[in-house]
Structure 1
Amino acid sequence: MSQPATTTPNPAATRKQQRLDAVMRWVLRSPLHRVVSGKLLVITVIGRKSGRVYENPVAYVEHDGTLLIGSAAKWRRNLRPGEPVRITLRGREIQADWEVITDLDDAAEPYRIIVTHNPTHGRIAGIGLNEDGGINREELAAALAKGTAVVKLWPLF
């Protein structure tokens, strides 16, 4: 029986992404943030084991007083139950309560909203909409099985 193929990060692509993230962190915290802060924010988490600070620029969608983030990235594993997370939103550093959603039924509507407002994220995540505008549940289920989740934030102004 053959082993499934594994993917290893491309070091050049990883360095390029790190440089882009550094630029985006700077922009999102500067007076220039207005250029991109309607779609991007910085979420800051502290490593559970290392204590290292991770500042991650992420795409978000605003909906009914919440911020919705679709992500397969591992930073969300450092969210600490019962503790707000620090975010930089529209140039301001604030706290936010959070919830990670990994259940298909619970994630379907938030992911429909994310993909409707950010089709590029849907293409990257491999999650699309059906002809009726609903989320493709098979694609969403496959993405959730591979570690994708919705992170829902409630900013504490």
Structure 2
Amino acid sequence: MKLPEPLFVIINPLMRLVLSSPLHFVASGSLLLMRYRGRRSGIWRTTPLRYVEDGDVLRCFSSRNTLWWRNLQGGAQVTLTVRGKRQGCEASVVTDQERARALLAAYLDEFPQDAAYHDVSLTPSGQPDPESLERAASNSVVVEARRTP
């Protein structure tokens, strides 16, 4: 079920509060907080995001219609709060469309409930429909954050 966009005005601050509190365990298995600096404004912002972990890389997915990810183009230092712990990371946007499509497919295999947010139809077996996945990949953004020592 896809939540209406206006609800995120309420949900995002609530998730920021929960994920930065001792109660983070309620949601931190699949959600993190990403703190990044606005390229032009210089203002630090924090956004909750669903993530998948692949070794030392954390991947987050978003729509191209959102603006936050543009601050990470070309690479940026960010702070992630993952499972209640803060860590510095170098974040960047995946620009290779074929790779982004494959990463989106793997993400939707893990979180099929998020298919609606990317306008991806699922087959009766619960797999992403190839045609809608292809369309979604061109409208989606993959952000990779690598842990820094």
Band the TM-score falls in, shorter-chain normalisation:
0.7 to 0.9
Relative to the length of structure 1, the TM-score reads 0.77
* Count of matched residue pairs: 144
1:48 corresponds to 2:39: yes
Who is 2:11 aligned against?
20
User: Closer, same or farther in 2 for the Cα pair 1:154/1:42, shift >3 Å?
Assistant: same
Who is 1:145 aligned against?
138
Aligned-residue sequence identity (percent) comes to 31
User: Closer, same or farther in 2 for the Cα pair 1:84/1:56, shift >3 Å?
Assistant: same
Q: One-letter code of the match for 1:142?
A: R
Q: Runs of 5+ in structure 1 lacking a partner?
A: 1-9
Alignment partner of 2:21 out of 4, 26, 30: 30
Asked if the contact 2:25/2:83 (under 8 Å) is kept, the reply is: yes
Who is 1:106 aligned against?
99
**Higher Cα Rg, which structure:** 1
Relative to the length of structure 2, the TM-score reads 0.80
Asked if the contact 1:88/1:94 (under 8 Å) is kept, the reply is: yes
Q: CA deviation at 1:144?
A: 3.7
How many angstroms apart in 2 are the aligned matches of 1:135 and 1:107? 14
RMSD: 2.5
Asked if the contact 2:97/2:138 (under 8 Å) is kept, the reply is: no
Asked if the contact 1:86/1:95 (under 8 Å) is kept, the reply is: yes
CA offsets per residue over residues 51-92 of structure 1, 9 Å max, x none?
222210001112233212111132111126353211111111
Match of 1:49, SS? Answer: coil
Greater shift after overlay, 124-133 or 72-81?
124-133
1:75 corresponds to 2:68: yes
Asked if the contact 1:44/1:56 (under 8 Å) is kept, the reply is: yes
Instruction: After TM superposition, list the pairs within 5 Å mapping 1:78-93 onto structure 2.
Output: 78-79=71-72, 81-93=74-86
User: Closer, same or farther in 2 for the Cα pair 1:54/1:41, shift >3 Å?
Assistant: same
User: Closer, same or farther in 2 for the Cα pair 1:140/1:149, shift >3 Å?
Assistant: farther
Q: Runs of 5+ in structure 2 lacking a partner?
A: none
How many angstroms apart in 1 are the aligned matches of 2:128 and 2:103? 9
How many angstroms apart in 1 are the aligned matches of 2:91 and 2:35? 13
Who is 2:148 aligned against?
156
Match of 2:23, SS? Answer: helix
